[in-house]
Amino acid sequence: MNSLDQLRQHTTVVADTGDFEQLAQFQPQDATTNPSLVLKAVQQPRYRTLLEQAVAANPGASATTVTEHLLVAFGVEILKLVPGRVSTEIDPRLSHDTAASIATAKRLIELYAAAGVPRARVLIKLASTWEGIQAARELERQGIHTNLTLLFCLAQAQACADAGVKLISPFVGRIYDWFKKTAGHSWNEAAMAGPNDPGVRSVEEIYRHYKRHGIQTEVMAASFRNSGQIIALAGCDLMTISPALLAELAGASTPVERRLMPHEGQVEAAPPALTEAQFHAALAADAMARDKLTEGIAQFIADTETLEQLIRTHQG
pLDDT digits over 213-246, tens only? 999 999 999 999 999 999 999 999 999 999 999 9
Which residues are the active-site residues? 125
Distance of CA 155 to the CA centre of its chain: 17
Q: Give the model's confidence band at 55: pLDDT under 50 very low, under 70 low, under 90 confident, else very high.
A: very high
Close Cβ partners of 65 (under 8 Å, ≥ 6 residues apart): 58
Instruction: Give the pLDDT score at 129.
Output: 98
pLDDT digits over 31-43, tens only? 999 999 999 999 9
Instruction: Give the pLDDT score at 316.
Output: 82
Q: 18-22, 53-57, 149-153, 204-208 — which is least confidently predicted?
A: 18-22
Close Cβ partners of 131 (under 8 Å, ≥ 6 residues apart): 95, 96, 97, 98, 101
Instruction: Give the pLDDT score at 88.
Output: 98
Instruction: Give the pLDDT score at 272.
Output: 96
The C-alpha atoms of residue 46 and residue 33 are separated, in whole angstroms, by 17
Beta pairing partners, 122? 86
Instruction: Give the pLDDT score at 196.
Output: 97
pLDDT digits over 186-198, tens only? 999 999 999 999 9
Q: Give the model's confidence band at 259: pLDDT under 50 very low, under 70 low, under 90 confident, else very high.
A: very high
Instruction: Give the pLDDT score at 24.
Output: 87
The pTM for the full model equals: 0.97
> Do residues 157 and 208 make contact, with C-beta atoms less than 8 angstroms apart?
no
Q: Which fold has domain 3-315?
A: TIM Barrel (3.20.20)
pLDDT digits over 160-214, tens only? 999 999 999 999 999 999 999 999 999 999 999 999 999 999 999 999 999 999 9
Instruction: Give the pLDDT score at 141.
Output: 98
Show the DSSP H helices in the chain as ranges.
3-8, 23-26, 35-42, 48-57, 63-79, 98-114, 130-141, 154-163, 173-183, 198-212, 227-232, 243-250, 276-285, 287-315
